[in-house]
Structure 1
Amino acid sequence: MKEKAKKLTLFTLTWPIFIEIFLYMLMGNLDTLMLSQYSDDSVAAVGVANQMLNIIIVMFGFVATGCSILVAQQLGAKKDRTAAEVAVISIVANFIFGLMLSAIFVFASKPLLNLMDLPPHLLSEGKSYLIIVGGFSFIQSVIMTLGAILRSYGFTKDTMLVTVGTNIFHAIGNYFVIFGPFGFPVLGVEGVAFSTTISRLIGLIVLFYLLKKRIKETLPFKTFYKIPKVHLKNLLRIGIPSAGENLSYNASQIVITYFVTMIGTEALTTKVYTQNIMMFIYLFSVAISEGTQILIGHLIGARKYTEAYERCMRTFKIAITASTCMAIAFSFFAEPLLRIFTTNPDVIETGKILILLTVVLEPGRAFNLVIIGALRSAGDVKFPVYMGIMSMWGISVTAAYFFGIVLGFGLPGIWIAFALDEWFRGIFMLFRWRSRIWEQKAFVIHPVG
């Protein structure tokens, strides 16, 4: 018997999301850690390839984000059938979009890596990883959509459990292809790529099963071509601007990664190791912002605007406090954390400085994670994009080149640029939310018929 959408609270939504993202980040670190036992060059090659793949994740995310917001709003408005129609349109649209982008990685992997100025001796491994993981990235596009749907219905625990299972399978696969126990061939980067893809395929199958089991309203896959086109228009109207901010961020990160390659391979490896550690610092802010986004979507659908405003402000204060405390704690243990990945003294010393700088950087990031998510859920999707493009390129990229390359500060100079960007955008986002201009844009769903 299918279940109804659960009664939502911030805690019941956030703790499974927290664990899910923690495991996702842990697996990224596990890939890096395992590969670091194989080759530091392999870590750098995969790091650059993943920088390209992150762009694709953002592209898939515009459908998943739009889907999450629209489904949450429709459920808040007690329109279960419409929510189911939006879910189906989202799955089909992201699957088709995923196939198109997967083809680009298969046929243009080498030119893409050349754009990143990847050193020639790293090109072969980077290309193999990009073709395999990128070529099957359409699997991830559907996974992201299914996860967004289940979370909007309140089943965040389900997506968490799927992540646990796929991560376990992925870790076992990595162990076999990197260390070659029991005579298993050592496949290195190529093996890690296959392990990633196969574990995602298993996760996809399980998520489809859970979606069919959990959702009360039958999803109309067989008649998806009859679903009103207005749903797709609404999806794109919210999703495309929402993706703009993330797309701009990742594109700016690619440019900054290019600056890092100008400093050297050691700097590139340091960046990969440090950012893998930093992900755990802002983990709580990411989780609580996603939970808040779902709650605000439901509140906007029910037209409870004052409750939505207060929910965001409470979450924002919690996220600021948590991210600051986490950054301070990690700065005290920076050296032993970095030694998990490497024994290179230069990498460790630079990494310690970068982690110390996160004490300033991470509170600014918390501004953006929480408030931008709230603005999206309220339908105010364009303002974060405009501010993001201006700040990321006008401040982050420009300052990264100036401090890191021109003044010769290296990676610490680039981290200073990151902090300036996050704080500049974050302060403007807070002013935007407190102005309550978003109430005029709220409930952006265009009615069917």
Structure 2
Amino acid sequence: MIQFISTYKEHYKALFRLGLPLVIGQLGIIILGFADTIMVGHHSTIELAAASFVNNLFTLAIIFSTGFSYGLTPIVGSLFGKEDSCGAGQALKNSLAANLLVALMLTVVMFVVYLNIHRFGQPEELLPLIRPYYLVLLASLFFVLVFNAFKQFADGITDTRTSMWILLWGNAFHIVLNYLLIYGILGLPEMGLLGAGVSTLIARIVMPIAFAFLFFRSKRYIPYLNGFKLNGFSKELFRRLNALGWPLAFQMGMETASFTFSTIMVGWLGSIALASHQVMLTVSSLCFMVYYGMGAAIAVRVSNFKGKNDIVNVRRSAYAGFHIILLMAVISAGSIFLLRNHLGPIFTDSEEVNAMVITLIFPFLLYQFGDGAQIAFANALRGIADVKPMMYIAFISYFLISLPAGYFFGFTLDWGVKGVWMAFPFGLTSAGIMFYLRFRKRTLA
């Protein structure tokens, strides 16, 4: 045991130093999600159901785009390990160009979805709320991708504090604006769900502007700014960004799609089921985002050691990160289990929704280990730039296992929303095991 601790001690400390700002930044996003859901839910249960449907569609688009931007981290992390600051600055310039093209593509795709929103089988009473909210969120996609490019660059050079502070201040601003626009405070019109969308758009515009200002003005970034300004676009860098970014986008997109398509299935069960699903997804995202903050630290540490060709510490960084995420999972799952009877009332006054939320706690607890494993080893694979197999693993886990299981449990066995949720442990645990086996194979000494 002493030998085990001494082997990983330095990695634990380094991951905590690097990962804590990322976790805090992710918690800021979660607090925003909680505030959104609480404010909208207490304004109207039907608005909460509409928000659930739209937010899950856009979560798919945003996670897909975030996955693409993650292609920058192993490139910048490796260059940082080699102390090539000019190359890292050039990589950011290429990443911004690539992300803008992806933003254009996603905007077109999501607009086509909007034109067919009535074909998704959602309750008719939700459509007048869904449509305007959807369009406002659509306008914010461009700014999400610009922010992603700057954030992944900063993470890759181990500057995780800058994105943490921007996220925290941006989300605090967002929450205040949410309250003012949803309820019509200080003479502003009471906009309800649409007000939540407008505040989201404004916050997403402000954050990338703040990051760009710091990049071009801060002394911290001068060595990288020189590379950004002096080096032109590189076909090789652009090719590498796309080669890494697209598999990551599809891997993360397929995971999120399993939740998004599950939301569509839950919508077939009615507004109460959809509202309870949204409450539990918001709670679940708390754990996911905290784990993913540490997962991002794993990717950075692994990519730094990969740049130095230090495979022993590549493995140790990944395993140390997995140990930390497991500890987080035990604490998070235990806390939510103890609070299970109090979760629903935080978000809504509906007794029906509250009762249904309690039934979803058991499947939620079942998939925490699998979720932690797939996050740890997916990020470890990202750190060593072994990303193509991740697409196939994600397809098997989420499309061939999770989604069919969700339909079977939810509708064939008639378990309802609880049955849909019972599929998640199967998909996430399968992914975690396969990502681990792939990482182990690729890093054998």
The answer to whether TM tops 0.5 is yes
- Superposed CA deviations along residues 334-379 of structure 1, whole A, max 9, x for unmatched, are 1212211123233222211212332211111001000011011112
**Superposed counterparts of 1:340-351, under 5 Å:** 340-351=346-357
**Could you tell me which residue of structure 2 aligns to residue 114 of structure 1?**
118
Q: How many residues align?
A: 430
Q: 1:10 aligns with which of 10, 15, 21?
A: 15
Q: 1:217 aligns with which of 224, 227, 230?
A: 224
- Check conservation: 1:116, 1:254, Cα contact below 8 A: no
Asked whether 1:68 is paired with 2:64, we answer: no
The DSSP-based 3-state class of the residue aligned with 1:318 is helix
- Superposed CA deviations along residues 48-105 of structure 1, whole A, max 9, x for unmatched, are 1112212221332243111111111111122222111111100122123213433444
Q: 1:128 aligns with which of 124, 127, 132?
A: 132
Q: Matches of 1:343 and 1:431 in 2, distance apart?
A: 45
Q: Which runs of 5+ in 2 are unaligned?
A: 1-12
Q: 1:250 to 1:281 in 2, by over 3 A?
A: closer
Q: Matches of 1:392 and 1:147 in 2, distance apart?
A: 28
Q: 2:167 aligns with which of 163, 166, 189?
A: 163
- Superposed CA deviations along residues 255-290 of structure 1, whole A, max 9, x for unmatched, are 222211122211111100011112223343211111
**Could you tell me which residue of structure 1 aligns to residue 56 of structure 2?**
51
The DSSP-based 3-state class of the residue aligned with 1:263 is coil
**Superposed counterparts of 1:168-187, under 5 Å:** 168-187=172-191
Q: Matches of 1:291 and 1:53 in 2, distance apart?
A: 25
Q: Matches of 1:70 and 1:395 in 2, distance apart?
A: 32
- Check conservation: 1:324, 1:359, Cα contact below 8 A: no
Residue 238 (structure 1) shift? 0.9
- Check conservation: 2:85, 2:227, Cα contact below 8 A: no
Q: Matches of 1:96 and 1:304 in 2, distance apart?
A: 35
- Check conservation: 1:296, 1:311, Cα contact below 8 A: yes
Q: Which moved more, 1:91-100 or 1:68-77?
A: 91-100
Identity of counterpart residues, as a percentage?
24
Which amino acid counterpart does residue 157 of structure 1 have in structure 2? R
User: What is the TM-score when the length of structure 1 is the normalising length?
Assistant: 0.91
Name which structure has the greater RCO, CA cutoff 8 Å, separation 6+. 2
The DSSP-based 3-state class of the residue aligned with 2:71 is helix
Q: 1:254 to 1:217 in 2, by over 3 A?
A: closer
Q: Matches of 1:41 and 1:373 in 2, distance apart?
A: 37
- Check conservation: 1:109, 1:127, Cα contact below 8 A: no
Residue 32 (structure 1) shift? 1.0
- Superposed CA deviations along residues 185-240 of structure 1, whole A, max 9, x for unmatched, are 1112222111111111111111011222132222555666x322000111111111
Q: Matches of 1:208 and 1:402 in 2, distance apart?
A: 48
Which amino acid counterpart does residue 140 of structure 1 have in structure 2? V
Q: Matches of 2:230 and 2:122 in 1, distance apart?
A: 46
- Check conservation: 1:102, 1:136, Cα contact below 8 A: no
Q: 2:205 aligns with which of 179, 187, 201?
A: 201
Runs of 4+ displaced beyond 4 Å: 219-224
Q: RMSD of the alignment, in Å?
A: 1.9
Which amino acid counterpart does residue 264 of structure 1 have in structure 2? G
- Check conservation: 2:73, 2:156, Cα contact below 8 A: yes
**Could you tell me which residue of structure 2 aligns to residue 292 of structure 1?**
298
- Check conservation: 2:262, 2:403, Cα contact below 8 A: yes
Which amino acid counterpart does residue 168 of structure 1 have in structure 2? A
Asked whether 1:274 is paired with 2:280, we answer: yes
Residue 408 (structure 1) shift? 0.8
- Check conservation: 1:22, 1:280, Cα contact below 8 A: yes
Q: Matches of 2:200 and 2:412 in 1, distance apart?
A: 39
Q: 1:420 aligns with which of 421, 426, 433?
A: 426
**Could you tell me which residue of structure 2 aligns to residue 189 of structure 1?**
193
- Check conservation: 1:278, 1:355, Cα contact below 8 A: no
Q: Matches of 2:86 and 2:408 in 1, distance apart?
A: 53
Which amino acid counterpart does residue 165 of structure 1 have in structure 2? W
Q: Matches of 1:219 and 1:118 in 2, distance apart?
A: 52
- Check conservation: 1:257, 1:268, Cα contact below 8 A: yes
- Superposed CA deviations along residues 297-342 of structure 1, whole A, max 9, x for unmatched, are 1111111111010111121122123202311221111121221112
Q: 1:116 to 1:253 in 2, by over 3 A?
A: farther
- Check conservation: 1:339, 1:348, Cα contact below 8 A: yes
- Check conservation: 1:72, 1:152, Cα contact below 8 A: yes
User: What is the TM-score when the length of structure 2 is the normalising length?
Assistant: 0.92
Asked whether 1:233 is paired with 2:239, we answer: yes
Q: Matches of 1:197 and 1:185 in 2, distance apart?
A: 17
Q: Which runs of 5+ in 1 are unaligned?
A: 1-7, 441-449
**Could you tell me which residue of structure 2 aligns to residue 90 of structure 1?**
95
**Could you tell me which residue of structure 1 aligns to residue 30 of structure 2?**
25
The DSSP-based 3-state class of the residue aligned with 1:379 is coil
Which amino acid counterpart does residue 96 of structure 1 have in structure 2? L
Q: Matches of 1:59 and 1:131 in 2, distance apart?
A: 19
Q: Matches of 1:316 and 1:180 in 2, distance apart?
A: 45
- Check conservation: 1:379, 1:438, Cα contact below 8 A: no
- Check conservation: 2:42, 2:349, Cα contact below 8 A: no
Which amino acid counterpart does residue 192 of structure 2 have in structure 1? G
Q: Which moved more, 1:193-202 or 1:424-433?
A: 424-433
